Every structure is written in structure tokens, then in C-alpha cells.
Amino acid sequence: MSDLLIVLNAGSSSLKFALYDIESLDCVMHGAAEHSAAGAHIEFREPHREREVSSLGDGEFQLDALTALLDWLHERGMIERLVGAGHRVVHGGTLFTRPLRVDEASLARMDELVLLAPLHLPQNLAAIHQLRRLQPALAQVACFDTAFHATQADIVRTYGLPAELTRRGYIRYGFHGLSYEYVASRLEDILGPQSADGRVIIAHLGNGASLCGLKDRASVATTFGYSTLDGLIMGTRCGALDPGLVLQLIRDHGGDPDVVERMLYRDAGLAGVSGIGRDMRALLDSDDPRARFAVDLFVYRIVRECGSLAAALGGIDAVIFTGGIGARSAPIRERVAEGLGWLGAVLDPARNGRDEIRFESQASRIALAAIPTNEEVVVARHTRSLVA
């Protein structure tokens, strides 16, 4: 029987995981642990089997979840076959621009980057620390969401700040890199070998949303910047703001940046604009004018930022939609394509409505496509290459 790899994506109130056969990279089990006001539970899903759900204790959530996961593997005789664990790590700073096998020194350097992503990185790294305690002999690999954008030129990544701040790492990093890497690996299948190296915009549209412009399948520019607040309006995140507005919000809230941080990350975006919620399906189905306006704003920002990326790329040959909204919402794809008509986009409504991979019409000057992303298999690939 083949060895196994586990892929982990740790958040503050969730731990997503997927188990892969190291040879075929077939997913043999996936699931998630979640913590809410109602308590904590963990769920396992295997092909052709009923899902398994069990409660977790009231202790430290991530530790309880990892322990339950390892117990599940042990009960099924799989723990001996487990040879590596791959982690999605949201931020690598300027130090980590490719996946790496974690050791004590590299983990200590990752711990020093927590201030770059204080809402996400502590949870990512806590899972690595805890797994090292629970399974000290297990090889672990860190895959960074920022690494894909390390190919960008300095002029793209630099803000108009004093040079000393730039040297200290106050630059544009970009995120969603594992998603973009997956889509880039599929471009030859989708567009053909010649067009795959052309000027491509990937639209990762979901609760978190961003765009990335690629040439030769490498990142040229992206809408995310120093943090995951920049760029497009998202489910609960504001997108791009005038820095002067942020300063004024801090003054208006008694100089407390934590209050403003919560507002911009948790209370803004589609949910804040609509006053209804962040679910795109509900917003599209609603007759409330606030819902319609929120959707209009979402589409407007995508179209406007596509224009910016078109300038950075020197034109567009293809737009690829991915993410929960991008891969599944035909109405949003239709409206974005309509807004990109000036760039030569012409959508085939029937093909788009059937969720076909390619859905441009014969009259379109650019390719239009949609595919689900798979960040987990990207982590599994890198983990296999570093532990096999």
C-alpha cells in the first residue's frame, strides 16, 4: 500500500484537512474541524462512505482537532503510512519564496513573521508546532500563499514610502498564491500550449477575492498588497481604501486600531454594503436594492481592476474564473465579461449557463474559462517533492 500525505489548513476556528496517496495524489479522505458557539466537532469524508462526525473537547481547539485526526488515522492503520504533512501558510514575507521542509531554524524564522499577518499566521504556525509535539518524526512542509508572487518586479511591489520602510518589508506581497499556482498548472490544458504562456488574468472570486495577471505562467501583478484587505471588495473585507480614510476611522474610534481592523476585515465588504450578508447566491436572489448595489459594486471593482492588469500586461489574451463565486456563478461571470467587452470579451450565454470550462463565443477576441481551484493538491505536490 502507498504512503500517505496529509494537507492542513489551520484557521482560528477551523482546521481543514485532506489525505493523499503519495503516488497518485488521489484524495482518499478529507474533512474539517470547526469551532462555534454551539461547540466543536470534526468531520471525516471518504469516497463511497457515510461521513463521520464526532464532538471535540473543550480544550485547545487546534490541539484537540489534530489529536482527533491522528487518532482516526491510527484506528484505521494509516498512521504508519503517513510520511509527511503539508501546511498552507498565509505569509512568507521576503524570506520564504518557495515551499520548504520545516526544521527548528526555519520555524523560528516563520514565528518572527507573525506581525505581517496577525489574524492568520499564528494559527497556521500553531498547527506546525503542535504537530511537531504530537508526531516529532513526521516530516512537515510549509507552502506559502505569498510565494507565487515573488516573481514580480520591484517596481510592482514598491509603495511610495520612505526607502527604509521598503527595506523593512512594507511592500506589496499578494496572496491566493496556491490557488493561482494551481490554475497556472492547468493553463496548457485549458488554453493550449501556446496561449498558456500569454497574457492571462485569473479571477479568484470567493469570500476572499483577488485578481492576478500572469505572463509565461508567472505572476506579473495582483490586486492584493501588503495585506488581504486590498483590491476587490470581498465577502466581509472592504477592498482598496484611501489610507487617509483609514486614519480618520482610527481617530473616529478613539484611536483604537483593533476596532477599525475588525470593521474592515469582518463588518465590511458585501455584508457591510448590503446589510444582508456575504452570500453571493442570496444577494443575487434578493429584490432588496441594497443587495443589487452590493453586487454592482463587486462587479465594477473586478472590471476596473482587470483594466489595471491589462495595462500591466500590455493586453489580455484570456480571463480564467476560479474560487467559489468565479467557478460557480454564471451571472457574475456574465456581468464581468460584459464589462470587459472593450477588451474584446464576448461570452456565449448557453455555454456559460452550463458551466462549461470554456465559454467565450466565436466572436470573442479573448478566451474565457472557469475551473474550480485546488490549493490542497498544490500543497500535496510540494510536500511529496520535499519528503519523497
The catalytic residue positions are: 145
DSSP codes joined into one string, 215-274? ETTEEEEES--SSTTSSS--SS---S--HHHHHHHHHHTTT-HHHHHHHHHHS-HHHHHH
- Paired sense of beta strands 4-10 and 27-36, if any: unpaired
- Distance from C-alpha of 352 to C-alpha of 350, rounded to nearest angstrom: 5
Give the C-alpha distances (Å, rounded to integers) separating 28 from 7, 8, 48.
Answer: 12, 14, 10
List residues bridging with 39 in a β-sheet.
36
Q: How far apart are the first and last CA of the chain?
A: 15
What value does the CA radius of gyration of the chain take, rounded to a whole number of Å? 21
- Residue 127: CB partners within 8 Å, gap ≥ 6? 8, 10, 15, 62, 66, 87
Q: Which of 380, 378, 385 is nearest to 5 (CA)?
A: 380
Check if the beta carbon of residue 41 is closer than 8 Å to that of residue 56. yes
Residue pointed to by grid coordinates 508526531:
135
- Residue 63: CB partners within 8 Å, gap ≥ 6? 130
Grid cell locating 35: 469551532
